[in-house]
Amino acid sequence: MRTGVAIVGIAAAVAVFVSTRRRETPSVPAAVPRTDPSAVVESTGAFVREVKGAKEHFRLKAERQLTYPDGTTRLIGVEVSIDNEGKMLVVRGREAEVGENQSHVNLKGSVELVASDGLSVKAESASYSQSEGIVRGPGPVSFTRGRMTGKGVGFTFDRNRDVLTLEDQASITFAPEESGGEAMDITSGVARLTSVEKYFTFERSVHIVQGPRVIDADGAVANLTEDESRITALELRGNSRVVTGASEPGELTAMSARDMNLLYSEDGKHVQHAVLSGSATTRIAGDHAAPERQLSAESLEMGLAPTGARLTSLSGRDRVALDLPAAKGQTSRTIRATSLAGSGDAAHGLTTATFTENVEYRETGGTPPVQRVVLARTLTAVLGDGFGEIRDARFAGGVRFTDGSTEATAANIRYLVTSGQIELMGNIGNARPRVTGDEIRVDADSIDMTLEGPNLHAIRDVHTLMQPAKQGPAGKDSKGATPRKMPSLMQPGQIVNSTSDALDYAGGDGSRAVFTGNARLWQVDTAIQGETVTLDGRTGNLSASGGVQSRLLLEQLNSATKARENVPAIALGREMQYDDALRKATYTNDARVDGPEGDLRAAKIELFLASEGRQLERLEAYDTVSLQQNSRTATGDHLSYFAADERYVMTGKLVRMAEKDCSETIGRILTFFRSTDRLLVDGNEVARTQTTSADCPGSRPE
């Protein structure tokens, strides 16, 4: 106790001494420079951290901190670092205002946002919401990432989804690669970059320029490569249009549709595949003298060559329409169908195209103007220069080909467009290939036709019907050509039929028809047949060869009634020629005419018709002439028959007439009349004549 009391006493003495001695004046620290005198607290080196578990996910640093009477805090020289699952985001600015518990940060003055993946965004002001994880900036903004740069007005950056949005007046540029190529510039109302899934979204009036290629749409989505350096695919939505800038024949110049999907080449330089939906249209360059070709459909899908200029594959669905306009004075073509499929290669573009269902092919215009229509189920076309020209068109399925007044039908028709040749094959049900025109109708197993004329070649079981020519103005037919002239052997204004193994027909002025192989030409009771029968519509001439047989319906005056009658006559020979100008029919080589004038045989027989009608005016027979007339038979070297007075005149070195009663008359000139049964013999004082009624076999001239 004594020791304790002593220690307390000593301590008390020390305390009294200290408190009673004179104090020293303390030194005054230097004043801190004030940034804002209105701030109640100002400090330097502000630092805020936010840690969850052992991991820091938010850090704020500032060069200076100011606190105001209302409790707000102002930071100078700010840097905010945000860690989002290993992806760092740093936001810097000259100044910042920080909300309570760092719930939000408002920055202004040279704001820069830098992400660990290379994204850099610059703006004059921005705000960060900790709860949303979103950085927002209201004014002009620019950004860079690799080869990509952009600018706009107003932006947001969602750090959770890694999405950068330019809110207005967005402009994006992909710089060309070091290896070459062209920059791509994109403008739109809104642009949104989603880095995680590697795509850009553009909204409102999207406009893209890459070299000569120009793309427009209401909206678009651009898929990017992993490094976001180039576009791999482009989805256009609403009023989509692409202008390629191509100009060589067969190259794609433009595309348009409601929506469009474009797939780019690996280097991002050219479109390699395109899908167009909703009123799709493409334009293809014609040659230097022709307008562009246009292809449209409800939807189109196209493959393009590596250069992106030529089509190498094509398909279209619903309301397919191909328009091939031509240079002035040439023929334009259009094709309509339900669907289309085409193929080709990079060097030549499209080489074939198949149109399916409800095919309608048209040709119009040209000099002289044409109007051709083909209807079919399918059309397969062989192309040149893409859709620059159609060289070969093959129609199938109930084909109907119309060229003005000429119509052709068959199951299959091949049309060689350049040469104007047509091949008809195959039956439609029980109907065989058929060609019908103003003057002719032909049915056969196979028909080849050339439009100019038209000219026809038909084979196998050919049936032909020739109609009277339709008269036009000034003695021309309905096409303005000289109408076909039918032989006067035929009745005017009546149909002429024929059958043959083959037919060669040349239309145009007058026309010409050659029937070969069991040929038969007939009209009512008039018929001509032979191995070959030829009809010349320009002259009205007719010829036949090879076992000619003809049945002629001739006009004759009935001596008893004095009325004109149609009387048949059978005429035969190896060859037959009818000259319409001379109105003469000539039969040669074993010629024979069997009619009301008698049964006449000779080496050559000529029948002369009157200048009008089919009335026989005169008949001539030459060499080894034999006439069987009623009860008499006459032989000689030459016979003339005159229909006016029914007079026969037979001449020769020795003319012989044998009667049925075995009487015989011999002379050099023998004249007899059918109507009066008179007989005149003129020996011409050179050889005597002899008449005998003795035993017929023994009757001989001396």
What are the CB-based long-range contacts (under 8 Å, 24+) for 617-622? 617/583, 617/642, 617/643, 617/644, 618/642, 618/643, 619/593, 619/643, 621/591, 621/593
* 541-698 CATH: 2.60.450.10
> In terms of C-beta density within 10 A (0-12 exposed, 13-18 middle, 19 or more buried), how is residue 660 classed?
exposed
- Whole-angstrom Cα distance, residue 513 to residue 504? 6
Please give the radius of gyration of the chain, using alpha carbons only, rounded to the nearest integer: 54
pTM (two decimals): 0.78
Q: What is the dihedral of CA 257, 259, 263, 264, to 10 degrees?
A: 70
What is the residue extent of each domain of the chain? 37-130, 541-698
**81-84-90 Cα angle (round to 5):** 25
User: Which residues, other chains included, contact 59 with Cβ-Cβ below 8 Å and sequence gap of 6+?
Assistant: 47, 48, 49, 50, 80, 81
Assess contact for 511 and 466: CB atoms under 8 A: no
- Whole-angstrom Cα distance, residue 591 to residue 72? 133
Q: Which amino acid is at 611?
A: S
* pLDDT value of residue 300: 95
Query: What's the average pLDDT block by block, 10 residues per block, for the chain (702 residues)?
Result: 46 45 54 71 76 71 82 81 77 80 78 85 87 86 89 89 91 83 89 87 93 92 86 93 85 92 87 94 82 92 88 93 86 93 87 94 88 95 82 93 92 92 91 90 94 89 84 54 77 88 86 93 90 91 93 77 80 94 92 89 93 85 90 91 88 87 84 78 49 50 40
- Whole-angstrom Cα distance, residue 424 to residue 402? 13
* pLDDT value of residue 701: 43
DSSP string, 80-104: EEEEETTEEEEEEEEEEEE-GGG-E
Where do the DSSP E strands lie in 6-40? none
What is the three-class DSSP state of 79? Answer: strand
Residue with tokens 């992400």: 115
* pLDDT value of residue 559: 65
Q: What is the dihedral of CA 108, 112, 114, 120, to 10 degrees?
A: 140
Give per-residue pLDDT as tens, 132-162.
Answer: 888 888 899 999 988 889 999 999 988 888 8
Give per-residue pLDDT as tens, 245-280.
Answer: 887 888 888 999 999 999 988 888 889 999 999 999
Cα torsion 301, 307, 310, 313: sign: negative
Q: What are phi and psi of 3, to 5 degrees?
A: -65, -45
* pLDDT value of residue 335: 94
Assess contact for 234 and 240: CB atoms under 8 A: no
- Whole-angstrom Cα distance, residue 169 to residue 577? 90
The two three-digit tokens of residue 236, written as one number:
């256009």
